[in-house]
Amino acid sequence: MVDSTWLDDLPITQLKGVGEKVAEKLKRLNITSIADVLFHLPFRYEDRSNVVPICALAAGQSCLFEGRIELSEIVFRGRRSMLVRLSDDTGFITLRFFHFSNSQKQTMLRGKWLRCFGDVKSYSKAGGAEVVHPEYQFITEQQRGQVEEGLVAVYPVTKGLNQTSFRKLIKQAFVLLQQGALVRDCLPSSTLVKNQWPTLVESLFELHYPQRMPPPDVSELSAFKRLIYEELLANHLSLSQLKSGAKKNRAPRFDKGGKKHRLFLQALGFDLTGAQQRVIKEISTDIQTNAPMQRLLQGDVGSGKTVVAASAAITAIDSGYQVALMAPTELLAEQHLKNFQTWLQPLGITVEYLVGKHKGKVYRSITDDIREGKSDIVIGTQALFQDKVTFRKLGLVIIDEQHRFGVHQRLALRDKGVAGNLFPHQLVMTATPIPRTLALLGYADLDLSIIDELPPGRTPVTTSVIPLSKRAQVIERIQQGVKDGRQVYWVCTLIEESETLQCQAAEEATELLKSQLPEFNTGLVHGRMKAEEKQAVMQHFKDQTLHILVATTVIEVGVDVPNASLMVIENAERLGLAQLHQLRGRVGRGLRESHCVLLYKSPLSDNANERLSIMRETTDGFKIAEKDMQLRGPGELLGKRQAGFMRFKVADFIRDADMIEQVQHDAEDVLQNEPELVNSLIHRWLANSVEYAQI
């Protein structure tokens, strides 16, 4: 018997057979405690209740069979391997081992009986069957057919650790439970009663040693559901802990918007939408307190997020603080620079620009101004969080297209504002609509503001899906469109993840359009051009001296040309829904009726066909985001940082979405009434991500 102790706290090395080397292998599976073994669940089950005669074995089946060794030999055909030929008087089968030891070879003696389990393969024209690296054990002839096993769990393992060894560890852990050891049940008892779920030990036993074959979808089992729920709860609590930890810090308290703020709104030349006014009020309320704002501003393409960000920036600057705005690309940073210069410089606000191209004296001059506080707002790329960049009094950090950045990049920029124990407020923005269920769980550490209204005058974009074979007709359509005074984007998509090939495709498309439409001016923008070259071409397009702009997906965000009302996306089937939606948002920004043509290469996969159909049917970013999550999972929508939280062990975000609201409710209950469960839950399910919760 063991004392009543927690398996959660016992190192894995206390199990028999786990020395330093085995412990290292288990660590690769994120197993460091004995409890971790129990939470390393099977991914399938095998029925080993019946021995199948060798003559009845069929390729493609996983079967239990027995046979007498007729022959054992080492062969060198292609790759060195050991072949063992078995017979049970109904037929023959060959076992093949690529990895074997001398002692293993010496035990394969003619006349001995083996009981084996493995995947049967056909290997010769004569119809012989083969099993590669089967599980096996020696038996006597008298033991033939005496099967003790029934359903056997199959686990994810790692190199140097086989199924048999891992099952022995599982068995030892359950023996310890029988002897009085404990594993923490981290769900409130009220949750178990309400859902009629089994206890934790009952659930784990059922999943490791099922009495009958589980259904194909294991999530239907109550035993599995409670573990899913526990993992979702741990994820939510981790983010909540991150949020509450940050809220304990102090931030500068900004004054209410003053004269500059009023002049800014008057000079815009248009009225803010109701949604923009609501969100500005939410942000204003946050930044007038000493708690650091952590707000996610979500709005569809063209909804006016930049104006809202500028409003917050002016409030910070009016209160005597600096602002940093970070964008993922130089093109988007340049777009923000132009907007902020237009809006803020007439108010006497100094706008600075810092990107990777700035070197030497220019770089030193810019960073000196930032350090001395001569720059009110600094707009740039990742260059902003370099060690050499220091701020005199940073009070607000704005991050655009936040999913392009990792959490450590965002925090590195935040930490530049830590002075006098004050942390800057943070506003992160995204034009990628996030489904509500995903926002509830993936962004539990951020307050959410949504601009769900487009400015008046934005025209809906109609979308056509056309095969590449009809490209000539599309070019004719472009010709007519330009004659009518329109401007056109022609977008070349990524080719085999190669920027070089993508640029090459864009150059070829430019030559084609120039030869087909010589009467019009065609320009080119791609990722390998220098920033000055890209900016010059974009300015020509904006000034309408270029009629057609051929571009790679670098124009996905940040480009605003109201007269551009036709977009052609070549090989659109290569792109995901979110990127297609972003690209399409470059048109429909003026008063003209706008169109988007999706050119695809036949034949289309079912998935690609579904994506393009959705684009044709709707321009609603939230509907598109919901579909995108169904097709690709939450990772793309969440981005680098949140995707780390979403590497679930047992949960599936889409399948288990109906649990999210209850998880959110129960998380608050646990934090209030049973806070002692929080760390245990987070450690159990997020051992590799727990550093996020401690930041």
Cα distance between residue 667 and residue 236, in whole Å: 7
Residue 71 lies in a domain: yes
Residue 141 lies in a domain: yes
189, two tokens? 């008892």
Quick one: angle between helices 471-483 and 499-516, nearest 10? 60
Give the pLDDT of residue 381: 87
* pLDDT lower than 50: segments of the chain: 1, 125, 496, 636-645, 690-695
Q: Which of 561, 590, 618 is the last residue of a domain?
A: 618
Q: Which of 126, 148, 170 is the last residue of a domain?
A: 148
Query: Sign of torsion, CA 243 246 250 256?
Result: negative
- 472 and 575 co-located in one domain: yes
Quick one: angle between helices 200-208 and 222-247, nearest 10? 130
Q: Which of 599, 618, 637 is the last residue of a domain?
A: 618
627, two tokens? 């579909």
Give the pLDDT of residue 415: 73
Cα distance between residue 679 and residue 693, in whole Å: 10
For the stretch 246-297, pLDDT in tens is 667 888 999 887 788 889 988 988 889 999 999 999 999 999 999 899 898 9
75 three-state secondary structure: strand
**Please, what is the Cα angle at 625 between 624 and 631, to 5 degrees?**
90
Residue 348 lies in a domain: yes
Strand 92-97 and strand 81-87: the pairing is antiparallel
Give the pLDDT of residue 418: 65
> Which residues, 6 or more positions from 70, have their beta carbon under 8 angstroms from its beta carbon?
85, 86, 87, 92, 110
- 103 and 186 co-located in one domain: no
Residue 228 lies in a domain: no
Give the pLDDT of residue 86: 95
- 274 and 126 co-located in one domain: no
For the stretch 30-72, pLDDT in tens is 899 999 999 999 988 988 888 999 999 888 888 899 999 999 9
Give the pLDDT of residue 473: 93
335, two tokens? 């777009």
Global confidence as pTM: 0.66
Cα distance between residue 178 and residue 125, in whole Å: 53
Q: What is the DSSP string of 305-347?
A: HHHHHHHHHHHHHHTT-EEEEE-SSHHHHHHHHHHHHHHHGGG
- 165 and 126 co-located in one domain: no
- 170 and 289 co-located in one domain: no
Residue 345 lies in a domain: yes
Residue 29 lies in a domain: yes
Give the pLDDT of residue 413: 67
Contact 654, 217 (CB under 8 A): no
Cα distance between residue 641 and residue 663, in whole Å: 21
- 292 and 385 co-located in one domain: yes
Cα 99 to chain centroid distance, Å, stands at 37
Find the CATH number of the domain harbouring 142: 2.40.50.140
Q: Order across the sheet with 548-551: list the strands.
A: 461-467, 594-600, 564-570, 487-492, 548-551, 522-525
> Which residues, 6 or more positions from 356, have their beta carbon under 8 angstroms from its beta carbon?
330, 381, 382, 383
Contact 404, 639 (CB under 8 A): yes
- 497 and 599 co-located in one domain: yes
Tell me which residue of 414, 400, 349 sits closest to 375, measured CA to CA.
Answer: 349
Give the pLDDT of residue 350: 95
First to last CA, the chain: 41
Q: Give 133's DSSP letter.
A: S
- 272 and 396 co-located in one domain: yes
Domains in the chain: how many in total?
4
The pair phi, psi for residue 94, each rounded to 5°, is: -110, 130
Cα distance between residue 265 and residue 201, in whole Å: 62
Cα distance between residue 628 and residue 578, in whole Å: 7
What are the distances in angstroms from CA 172 to CA 34, 48, 169, 209? 9, 21, 5, 13
Give yes or no for a cis peptide into 215 (omega within 30° of 0).
Answer: no
Residue 534 lies in a domain: yes
Tokens 């551009």 -> residue: 564
- 400 and 353 co-located in one domain: yes
DSSP bridge partners of 66: 115
Tell me which residue of 656, 648, 642 sits closest to 693, measured CA to CA.
Answer: 642
- 124 and 177 co-located in one domain: no
Q: Rg (Cα) of the chain, in Å, rounded?
A: 31
Residue 397 lies in a domain: yes
Give the pLDDT of residue 1: 41
1 three-state secondary structure: coil
The pair phi, psi for residue 180, each rounded to 5°, is: 115, -5
210, two tokens? 């099922």
Question: Which stretches does DSSP call E strand in 151-293?
Answer: 151-154
Find the CATH number of the domain harbouring 265: 3.40.50.300
514 three-state secondary structure: helix
Give the pLDDT of residue 456: 74
Quick one: angle between helices 330-344 and 259-267, nearest 10? 110
Q: What is the DSSP string of 492-513?
A: EPPBTTBHHHHHHHHHHHHHHH
Mark 601-634 as b/e (b = at least 16 C-beta within 10 Å).
Answer: eeebeeebeebbebbeeebebbbbbbbbbebbeb
- 504 and 578 co-located in one domain: yes
- 363 and 445 co-located in one domain: yes
Domain that holds residue 572: 461-618
Cα distance between residue 573 and residue 550, in whole Å: 18
